[in-house]
Structures are given as structure tokens and as C-alpha cells.
Amino acid sequence: MIGKPLLEIKDLSVTYWGRSLLGFGGKPFVAVKDANLSIRAGETLGLVGESGSGKSSIANTVLGLVPASSGSMRFGDHDLVAMKTRYPSEVRNQIQAVFQDPYSSLNPSMTVEEIVTEPLRVHTGMSKARRRERAVELLKLVSLSEEHLSRHPHQFSGGQRQRIAIASALALQPKLIVLDEPVSALDVSTQNQIINLLYERRDALGIAYLLIAHDLALVHHISDRIAVMYLGHIVEEGPSDRVYKNPAHPYTRALLEAVPLLDPERQRARRASRKLQPAQDMQRIADVGCPYKNRCPFVMPRCQTEMPPAYPVDGGGVANCFLLAPEVEQSAKHTREPERIAS
């Protein structure tokens, strides 16, 4: 990797305390374990994984909404972990967020002008007239116009609301926007429009994104790199095209196969053989061995007791899987075809 990363996360763990979850009453619950990620200026990192894998926990920790329990997070020259959840405004301004639900994330009593200019009012000494001008510029950036300024959120569709949220996130010219499932609540054609909009804005403004999604296929075009999470662990990371076209971790392959199929016959067959059973794995089984060991079609004895380290993958990036260990013979890899592919 050339140059210094804008955001560098090392061995980050996030632990929640004192909530009763599936019988874990009062015990610590490790939502993220030893995650490593980095994003350079202007780069998009797609963070994917099924529900409960810990994506939002990472996002919220970067945003300073949830404290890290261990590890380090650097943003430029700032030590985010040391700041706990009290980021000074110079840092808060540079890291903005867009969340999934465009219905609850916008204050219904405010006008679009107030929503979009709120960050400017709070964090800059800009005059009201100048803020209004800036609001018009920002709305244009998201393909809305001046006439929308005086309207309220309920007068817009879901996709338009997400445009408003993006305009507000752009107001302070941040270096990083954390997008936590920004299109998951939208219909498919609106999802594509918003992804394209994000793509254009990123290239024009040089912003970096941490883009969270369930669907790898949806975000791989816009992402430079992709990280895949499973049960609190990042199990694979690498250049977007490589991860998408040549996934190295068995979980990444399962995730790609989980993309909806148009052929109902194939869809039925796949459902019958599906390996993804989130509820079963919601409990973080004793923290030994590979996190994917209970669902992996390639599981080996050592996966039960040893945590796979990050092995380099041909084409770039790393995957935490013993199948990539140099000592695992090439032939063994080929004979270990997962039974589900045949079914």
C-alpha cells in the first residue's frame, strides 16, 4: 500500500457489557475481535457480512459512538481510541455518517434547508445567507434543487431522503463518510441510483468511504477494496475485483452464492442446501479456532483449535483460512470441493 492511510484500524475489538443476549446475561459480548482495516484518502472500502457480524459495531466505533475495548484507530494524525467517544469538533467534522433508514435519520420537523445547513450552523461561523447558498450547492450535488429547500422529509421518497442525508454529510467537506447500509432500505433501481451518486461524488470530491452492505455484488463496483466479516472477525480483505471474482475464504464464497438468483428452480435448490444459518451462530462460540469452523465445508482438525492467521492471496489481499497455508498441499485444496456446489 502506497502512502499513509487516512484511517488505520489495528487489532480493534468491540465488547458490549451488561446486556442480556440469548442467555449471555451480564457477560461481556465480543462483537468485533482483532479487526484490521485501512482506508486511504479518496478510497472506498466495502465492508460486507451477514446480519450480526459486527459491521455497524466497527462503523460506530469509527464514528466515536461506541468505545473500542482494545486495539488502535488512527485517523490522519489523530488517535481515535485515545479520544474515547469524545472527538473534538475538528475530527467530528471530518468523519460524517449516513445511516440505513432515511425515514428515522432525518428530523421530521426540520426543513431540508435546516437539515442540510445544520452542520454548517453548528460548526462554522457562516452567515445564514451564505449557508442557504451552500445548501443549494449541496442539493445540486445530490441531484435535488432549490425548490426542495423549504420542504419537510415526509414530502420525499426514500431515495430522495437518502440524497438529503448525503447532502448533509457532504456539508462540512469531510475526508471520510461512514455509510452504514445506505441503500438497504431502498428498492433495487433506487439502490443503483444512490450507489452511482456516491460514486460520482467520491470521484469529484475525493472523499473516502467506509461503505457497509450485506450484498457484495451491489458494492463491489464502487469499492476499491472489500473486507468480509463473519462473527466479529474480518475473514478476508483485498482488492474489490479479486475478492468478488476470486474469493479465497469459504465464507466469502458462501456470501457470493447468497446473492439472489433469478432462476426460481436454482433458487429453490440453493435454499435447500444453504449454509448460511445466522441464528445458529449468533452465540459467539468459545473463542477458539476459526470463527467459520461450524459451517465450513472444508473444515480441518486444526480449524477447531487454531485461529487462522491472515495468509496472502494471489491477486492481492489476505484471507484468514488454513486452506491458504503453504503447507496445505495444492492437491488437497482441489479434492476438498464443498458438497453444496454439486447439489
Ligand X SMILES: Nc1ncnc2c1ncn2[C@@H]1O[C@H](COP(=O)(O)OP(=O)(O)OP(=O)(O)O)[C@@H](O)[C@H]1O
Q: Which residues bind ligand X (CB under 6 A)?
A: 16, 19, 21, 29, 31, 49, 51-57, 282
Kindly tell me which of 18 and 88 has the beta carbon lying closer to ligand X.
18
3-class DSSP assignment, residue 228: strand
Quick one: what does residue 199 bind among Mg ion, ligand X, none, with the CB cut-off 5 to 8 Å set by partner type?
none
DSSP 3: S
Query: Nearest residue to Mg ion, using CB?
Result: 56
Give yes or no for a contact between 181 and 220, defined as CB atoms under 8 angstroms apart: no
Q: C-alpha cell of 296?
A: 465450513
Quick one: what does residue 194 bind among Mg ion, ligand X, none, with the CB cut-off 5 to 8 Å set by partner type?
none
Kindly tell me which of 156 and 251 has the beta carbon lying closer to ligand X.
251
- What minimum distance in Å lies between the beta carbon of 91 and ligand X? 22
- What minimum distance in Å lies between the beta carbon of 21 and ligand X? 6
- What minimum distance in Å lies between the beta carbon of 118 and Mg ion? 24
Kindly tell me which of 15 and 56 has the beta carbon lying closer to Mg ion.
56
DSSP 21: -
Kindly tell me which of 171 and 218 has the beta carbon lying closer to ligand X.
218
Kindly tell me which of 172 and 179 has the beta carbon lying closer to Mg ion.
179
The owner of cell 449471555 is 24
Which residues are 98's β-sheet partners?
A: 179
* Kind of pairing between the strands at 233-239 and 7-16: unpaired
- What minimum distance in Å lies between the beta carbon of 55 and Mg ion? 5
Q: How far apart are CA 250 and CA 295, in angstroms?
A: 9
In 3D space, the residue among 103, 197, 110, 113 whose CA is nearest the CA of residue 158 turns out to be 103
Q: How far apart are CA 250 and CA 287, in angstroms?
A: 19
- What minimum distance in Å lies between the beta carbon of 184 and ligand X? 8
56 counts as binding Mg ion under rule CB under 5 A: yes
- What minimum distance in Å lies between the beta carbon of 24 and ligand X? 9
- What minimum distance in Å lies between the beta carbon of 337 and ligand X? 29
H or E element, residue 11: strand 7-16
The owner of cell 454529510 is 169
Which range of residues in 51-59, 83-91, 199-207, 239-247 is near Mg ion by CB under 5 A?
Answer: 51-59
Quick one: what does residue 4 bind among ligand X, Mg ion, none, with the CB cut-off 5 to 8 Å set by partner type?
none
Which range of residues in 55-63, 143-151, 277-285, 324-332 is near Mg ion by CB under 5 A?
Answer: 55-63
- Give the sign of the dihedral formed by CA 290, CA 292, CA 294, CA 297: negative
In 3D space, the residue among 209, 199, 248 whose CA is nearest the CA of residue 228 turns out to be 248
Quick one: what does residue 174 bind among ligand X, Mg ion, none, with the CB cut-off 5 to 8 Å set by partner type?
none
3-class DSSP assignment, residue 281: helix
Q: How far apart are CA 331 and CA 148, in angstroms?
A: 62
How many residues bind to Mg ion according to rule CB under 5 A? Answer: 1
Q: Which residues bind Mg ion (CB under 5 A)?
A: 56
